[in-house]
Structure formats: C-alpha cells, structure tokens
C-alpha cells in the first residue's frame, strides 16, 4: 500500500508519499491551480494510483477545489482534524519542530498506522452535497440576520424606544418589513411623531401588508405620539443616521435568508430522502434540509445508529477512571446537527403525542432538566430516522412510541 499526505495551504501544498514500512517515497511542492493538481495526479499515477485501486489521501480540510478533484472516482479522502494531526506530530519529533513537508509526512503516516481509526469523507450524492451547501448557507444567513437585529435593537434602545414598542406586537418584529419601512420613513422619534395616517398606511402597504391596515395604523400612530424621553436633537439625528446604516445591513441579511430558504426548499424537495425525513413530526422543509445536510445520503457512512447519535452529540459519554465513573454530554460533535436536533425535539412536543409522553417521562421519572430531556428525545428520534432511511420507510407513530407495558401490582 502507498499512502499520501497533503499539507494544505492557501496558495501552495506539500505532498508526501510513504509505503507500508514508513519509507518516504516522494515529496512535492505543488501550487493551488490546475497545473498543481495535474502534477499531483501524475505523481500518484507514477506510484500505482489507478481508478480501481486509488491511493488514499489524508488532508486537513474537507472542502475546496483540491478536495473536489481528489474525490473523483473511488478514492478515499480522509479529512484529519488539525488538532489530531498536531498530536500525531509529537510522536515523530519530541523537539516539537514543525514544517510543511514534515506535516505532509505526518499525515501520510496517520493513514499508514491508524487508517482504521479515521473516517473517510462520505460518498454523498451531488444533490445531497448541494443541499448541504444551501442549508448551511441559509443557517448562517439566519444567524447573521438575528445578529444584525440584535445590534439594531441595542441602538434603538438608546434613543428610539417608540420603534421597539411599535414592533413588540410582531414576532421577531425588527425583521418584519413593516417596521423596516417605518424606520426608513422616520429614522428618529421626532420624525415618527409627525407621521400622518396616510404616511403610515403607505409604509404598511409598501411592506406588503394587505389586511388590518387601518387598525394597525391607529395603533402605530398612538405609539409614536406617546410621551417618550428624547436625546438632544443633534445626537438624535446622528443616531438616526447610524440606525439607517444598520437597517441597510439588516435588510440585506433578511433578503439573503429568504432567498436561500427558497433555494433550499427547491433543492431539498428533489432529494429521494425528503419524503422520509418530512414524514417525521417536527421536521419541516428547512429543518429537514439541515438534518439531511449533516448526515448525508451515504448509507455506509455510519455503521449503526449509535455512530450517528455519537456524531450528533445526542448520546451520552462515559468517563471512568478507577472507582470513579461519570456520564456526561458530548462536547465533540457536529454542532450544526446538534443545533438542528434541539429545534427538532422541541417541535415534536406539539406534533407527536408519543414524543411529548417520552419527554414528560424523562422530566418526571428521571428528573432530567429541560435540555437533557430534549437531548434524550432527539437521541431516540435520530435512531428512528436512521432506521427509516436505511429501509426507506415513513415514520409511524405507533411503532415509534409503543405504549409501555403496564406492570400488575398485587394487592398487599
């Protein structure tokens, strides 16, 4: 066997090839372009790389054009965590020296000695990988939108409490188009107090509102004309200018999140696993796409449901030493899947009677806190999802949450 290690960098990469005995066969310094990729593939072919028997490769990243080129065909590409690679480096040099060619050699030796302990990149379909790109981008855009909303709220508290009161009746009010149109029309409380009914109505219509406009107009007019504390006029105008700058960023974040959500829905509906995932209670299009994005559609990626649960961080971990033993939550996990799992478990409480009963048993009988009970419920739902995806079956409430056996209690 020949093993390859690549020390990845932004512009250039170092490559090392070793054999079964650990002997360095070749090393190269390649550029991050088509010429460098061709040099790498020629080097691999020179040492026996074929389409049916490709040389396995270890690299410290799982994305990028270089990884895309290497993943073509049947080749196994191992994305080694940089922290794990640093630990392996200490096995080869106690002096703690470091170099890029040396790191490439370390990565190659990781596969030579411990390839069985590392998982190659999953062989997901192109559609599943596209869903992953869109779902993660939409999740990032949602987080960015909330961050911008929090910054805007913090600024409005300094000089414009009327705007916060106006948005209080709407869920996630500052991200609503109505309040954004009103803030454009009146960036300061002085200007807001001068808004007429016609101007408020026009702002609501520009935001796309069609019903309840008259009642909302009266409510907003009363809020803006109420007695509020004010900053000095010059300071208020300056804060209004700052607010408009933040508002532009918030609008861009809202538009990006909405556009990506539409793209996620279109791509996710085309995937054959969408029917199974959407059959589960608490999973809609966006959340289901996030789950698919993290677990993929490679059925051989996880040997069993336990592997998937450990990857998601839903199963507990045992730490034992001597007479001491402790069971705790996992800290090393897929954070995106874990976050989606918390939302999924919370949504099932109102969508599935069996899930709600399971949650109540964890709270009442096991004295779990809310987060622990949700994590346990997510752990169970994830195992059921693994089974349904493996056999392409839809969720069944009766099979998933069968009634617990009733224990007969004999009279004393």
Q: Is 55 exposed, middle or buried (0-12, 13-18, 19+ CB in 10 A)?
A: buried
Q: Give the pLDDT band (50/70/90) at residue 10.
A: confident
DSSP string, 255-322: HHHHHHHHHHHHHHHTSTTHHHHHTSTT--HHHHHHHHHHH-S-TTSSSSHHHHHHHHT-S-EEEEET
96 pLDDT exceeds 80?
Answer: no
Q: What pLDDT shows up at residue 406?
A: 52
Reduced to 3 states (helix: H, G, I; strand: E, B; else coil), residue 114 is helix
Q: Give the pLDDT band (50/70/90) at residue 409.
A: very low
> 105 with 160, same domain?
no
Residue 407, in any domain of the structure = no
DSSP string, 137-186: HHHHHHHHHHHHHHHHHHHHHHH-HHHHHHHTTSTTGGGSHHHHHHHHH-
Residue 355, in any domain of the structure = yes
> 143 with 105, same domain?
no
Q: What pLDDT shows up at residue 404?
A: 62
Q: What pLDDT shows up at residue 410?
A: 43
Q: Could you tell me how far CA 371 lies from the centroid of its own chain?
A: 19
Rounded-to-integer distance, Cα 88 and Cα 206, Å: 60
> 143 with 193, same domain?
yes
Q: Cα–Cα distances in Å, from 335 out to 332, 344, 394?
A: 8, 14, 26
Q: What pLDDT shows up at residue 401?
A: 87
**pLDDT tens readout for residues 340-363:** 999 999 999 999 999 999 999 999
The pair phi, psi for residue 281, each rounded to 5°, is -65, 140
130 pLDDT exceeds 70?
Answer: yes
> 253 with 176, same domain?
yes
> 372 with 315, same domain?
yes
> 279 with 344, same domain?
yes
412 pLDDT exceeds 70?
Answer: no
User: What's the domain range around 352?
Assistant: 275-400
Question: What pTM was estimated for this model as a whole?
Answer: 0.84
Q: Which of 243, 266, 289 is the last residue of a domain?
A: 266
Give 32's DSSP letter: S
264 pLDDT exceeds 90?
Answer: yes
Q: Which of 229, 249, 266 is the last residue of a domain?
A: 266
DSSP string, 61-113: -S-SHHHHHHTSTT--EEE--HHHHHHHHHHH-TT----HHHHHHHHHHHHHH
Which range (192-201, 246-255, 326-335, 386-395) has the least confidence? 326-335
Q: What stretch of H or E contains 42?
A: helix 34-46
> Tell me, what CATH number does 54's domain have?
3.30.420.40
> 152 with 256, same domain?
yes
Residue 296, in any domain of the structure = yes
Report the candidate in 123, 119, 125, 129 with the shortest Cα–Cα distance to residue 308.
119
Q: Which of 65, 86, 117 is the last residue of a domain?
A: 117
325 pLDDT exceeds 80?
Answer: no
The token pair at 5 is 């290690």
Say if strands 77-79 and 324-328 run parallel, antiparallel, or are unpaired. unpaired
Give 116's DSSP letter: G
378 pLDDT exceeds 90?
Answer: yes
Residue 410, in any domain of the structure = no
Reduced to 3 states (helix: H, G, I; strand: E, B; else coil), residue 55 is coil
- Share above pLDDT 90 across residues of the chain, in percent, rounded to a whole number: 69
Q: What pLDDT shows up at residue 129?
A: 93
Number of domain units in the chain = 3
> 150 with 195, same domain?
yes
Rounded-to-integer distance, Cα 226 and Cα 205, Å: 23
Residue 281, in any domain of the structure = yes
Residue 123, in any domain of the structure = no
> 92 with 135, same domain?
no
Q: Cα–Cα distances in Å, from 167 out to 10, 12, 174, 189, 239?
A: 45, 51, 6, 14, 19
Under 8 Å between Cβ of 7 and 82? no
Could you tell me which residues come within 8 angstroms of residue 344 by beta carbon, excluding any fewer than 6 positions away? 280, 282, 283, 287, 291, 378, 381
408 pLDDT exceeds 50?
Answer: no
18 pLDDT exceeds 90?
Answer: yes
Residue 205, in any domain of the structure = yes
> 383 with 295, same domain?
yes
**pLDDT tens readout for residues 31-65:** 999 999 999 999 999 998 888 889 999 999 888 89
The pair phi, psi for residue 27, each rounded to 5°, is -145, 145
Under 8 Å between Cβ of 134 and 311? no
DSSP string, 185-213: H-SSHHHHHT--HHHHHHHHHHTT--SSH
Q: What stretch of H or E contains 16?
A: strand 12-18
**pLDDT tens readout for residues 141-170:** 999 999 999 999 999 999 999 999 999 888
Q: What pLDDT shows up at residue 1?
A: 87
**pLDDT tens readout for residues 176-231:** 999 999 999 999 999 999 999 999 999 999 999 889 999 999 999 999 999 999 99
> 253 with 304, same domain?
no
Rounded-to-integer distance, Cα 92 and Cα 85, Å: 11
Rounded-to-integer distance, Cα 245 and Cα 247, Å: 5
Residue 284, in any domain of the structure = yes
Rounded-to-integer distance, Cα 109 and Cα 39, Å: 22
> 279 with 257, same domain?
no
Q: What stretch of H or E contains 3?
A: strand 3-7
């Amino acid at each position: 066997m020949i093993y390859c290690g690549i020390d990845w960098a932004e512009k250039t990469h170092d490559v090392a090839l070793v054999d079964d005995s650990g002997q360095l066969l070749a090393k190269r310094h390649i550029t991050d372009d088509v010429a460098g990729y061709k040099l790498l593939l020629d080097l691999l072919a020179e040492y026996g790389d074929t389409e049916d028997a490709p040389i396995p490769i270890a690299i410290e990243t799982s994305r990028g054009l270089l990884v895309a080129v290497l993943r073509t065909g049947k080749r196994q590409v191992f994305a080694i965590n940089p922290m794990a690679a640093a630990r392996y480096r200490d096995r080869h040099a106690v002096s703690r020296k470091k170099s890029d060619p040396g790191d490439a050699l370390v990565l190659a030796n990781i596969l030579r000695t411990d390839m069985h302990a590392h998982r190659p990149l999953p062989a997901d379909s192109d559609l599943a990988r596209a869903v992953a790109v869109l779902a993660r981008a939409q999740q990032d855009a949602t987080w960015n939108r909330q961050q911008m909303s929090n910054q805007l709220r913090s600024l409005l508290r300094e000089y414009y409490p009327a705007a916060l009161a106006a948005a209080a009746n709407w869920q996630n009010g500052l991200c609503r188009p109505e309040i954004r149109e009103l803030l454009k029309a009146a960036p300061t409380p002085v200007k807001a107090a001068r808004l007429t009914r016609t101007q408020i109505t026009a702002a609501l219509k520009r935001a796309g509102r069609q019903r309840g406009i008259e009642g909302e107009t009266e409510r907003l007019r009363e809020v803006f004309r109420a007695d509020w504390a004010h900053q000095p006029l010059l300071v208020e105008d300056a804060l209004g200018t700052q607010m408009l700058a933040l508002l532009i960023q918030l609008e861009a974040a809202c538009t990006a999140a909405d556009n990506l959500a539409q793209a996620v829905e279109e791509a996710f509906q085309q995937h054959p696993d969408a029917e199974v995932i959407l059959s589960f209670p608490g999973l809609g299009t966006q959340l289901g796409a996030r789950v698919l994005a993290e677990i993929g559609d490679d059925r051989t990626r996880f040997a069993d449901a336990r592997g998937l649960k450990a990857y998601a961080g839903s199963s507990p971990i045992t730490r034992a030493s001597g007479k001491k033993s402790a069971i705790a939550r996992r800290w090393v996990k897929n954070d995106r899947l874990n976050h989606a799992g918390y939302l999924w478990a919370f949504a099932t409480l109102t969508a599935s009677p069996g899930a709600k009963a399971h949650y109540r048993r964890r709270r009442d009988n096991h004295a779990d806190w809310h987060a622990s009970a949700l994590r346990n419920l997510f752990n169970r739902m994830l195992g059921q999802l693994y089974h349904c995806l493996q056999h392409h079956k839809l969720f069944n409430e009766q099979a998933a949450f069968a009634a617990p056996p009733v224990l007969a209690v004999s009279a004393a």
